[in-house]
């Protein structure tokens, strides 16, 4: 193979790989919204004696996961 042709082939491969890297970088961005870190507490079943333990759990979830949940409207 002609050395000049081999060089041209390598340049084409490099250009193709650079385009692929740029494409992959564009699709592997960080998520726009963080994921929640605390699990959902069990649903409150209406029993008053369980409310005092459920309320701190839900408050902690709202405080810790606030970035993932969103603002007050969300």
Note the pLDDT of residue 19.
94
Give residue-wise pLDDT tens across range 29-54.
Answer: 666 667 778 888 889 999 999 999 99
pLDDT band at 27 (very low <50, low <70, confident <90, very high): confident
Query: Model pTM?
Result: 0.48
At 32, list the tokens.
């726009």
- Largest CA-CA distance found in the chain, in angstroms, rounded: 86
Phi, psi of 31 (to 5 degrees): -60, 145
Q: What is the CA radius of gyration of the chain?
A: 27
Give residue-wise pLDDT tens across range 12-23.
Answer: 999 999 999 988
Note the pLDDT of residue 35.
77
As a whole number of angstroms, the distance between CA 11 and CA 8 comes to: 5
Give residue-wise pLDDT tens across range 51-71.
Answer: 999 999 999 988 888 888 777
């Amino acid at each position: 193979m002609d050395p000049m042709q081999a060089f041209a082939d390598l340049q084409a491969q490099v250009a193709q790989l650079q385009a692929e890297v740029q494409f992959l970088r564009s699709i592997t961005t960080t998520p726009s919204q963080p994921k929640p870190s605390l699990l959902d507490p069990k649903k409150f079943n209406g029993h008053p004696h369980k409310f005092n333990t459920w309320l701190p759990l839900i408050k902690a979830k709202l405080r810790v996961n606030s970035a993932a949940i969103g603002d007050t409207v969300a």
